Amino acid sequence: MNSTLQLRHEAHRFVEIATGDGKLLWRYVYAPQTPANEAPRPYAHPVCSLSGDVLTNFRPNDHSWHHGLSLTLTSVAGVNFWGGPSNRAADGYQWRDDHGAQVHRNWLALEPARLEETLDWCEPKSGRELLHERRVLETTLVPGGWSLRWTSGLLNVSGHDLALGNYHALGGLAGSHYTGLQFRGARDLLDEHGDATVGISAEGGLSGEAAVHGTPARWMEWACQHDGSLRRTRIRFENPAGPLPWFVREKNPLAAFAFHRDHPQPLTAGATLRLDHLLTFSSP
């Protein structure tokens, strides 16, 4: 395996990280051109295995606001940074004019193994900044694959306390605690052939969506077999700081690093929410 990485930068659009021999690992679109009601934000797509199989899905027909691998917050004081319709206890899911946007501001590092940027999370219409983020994306080649470490510091610059919500906590929509870093997988992650080595598992011997969804664990894995090539990839989602109540949907397919579940998480004025996540893509 070539142990080096290379970077290609399309100014004001995207960055691509590839192996030394030119195999694309992932493209990071930091100036998206997605619709306002999908909560525009930087995203990674395609994300590929070392063998070249595409692992992410961008704007799938069932949820067009799922953008590959991207950092989202379902609700920041009522502003929807996830995209799509917003759920409220009074009238359920409705399309509302409440979508925020993440805006790339500056590159602090632009290197093959390390991207570092600043972003602002802005309200709709007014453009007022609620959160200022410092994001670091680190790419590492590992035996049989590669890893992406995503760390973010989200500083509350609104001048007042913010409630970070999800629809399970805010409106009693049971199980809908999706928020945080989300991975919308390619349809190759679907499992319909009954192979026990393909599917979802997690720390503690958990197996399958019903067991993993909402259960605190430090890591979960999703093993898949690709159409066409018939190669296999194992994706490991890990939260180094400790267990998370994972959000997982087998049929979409989607996994989210949901950092809270039953209650909105407060973020006081001037405080910083720190997220540290690791994804590893390898051949079993």
Q: Quick: pLDDT tens for 140-169.
A: 999 999 999 999 999 999 999 999 999 999
Of residues 166 and 90, more confidently modeled: 166
CA-to-CA distance for 69 and 36, rounded, in angstroms? 18
pTM for the whole structure? 0.97
Q: What share of the chain is helix, strand, coil (3-state, %, to 5)?
A: 5, 50, 45
CA-to-CA distance for 141 and 139, rounded, in angstroms? 7
Of residues 144 and 192, more confidently modeled: 144
CA-to-CA distance for 254 and 176, rounded, in angstroms? 13
CA-to-CA distance for 206 and 220, rounded, in angstroms? 9
The mean pLDDT value for 239-267 works out to 97
pLDDT of residue 194: 81
Contacts for 264 with CB less than 8 Å, ≥ 6 apart:
75, 163, 164, 165, 166, 169, 170
Rounded to the nearest integer, the mean pLDDT of the chain is: 96
Pull the structure tokens for residue 246.
């994972």
Note down the domain range covering 174: 5-282
Pull the structure tokens for residue 27.
């493209």
Reduce the DSSP state of residue 6 to 3 states and report it: strand
CA-to-CA distance for 235 and 280, rounded, in angstroms? 6
CATH number at residue 96: 2.70.98
Number of domains in the chain: 1
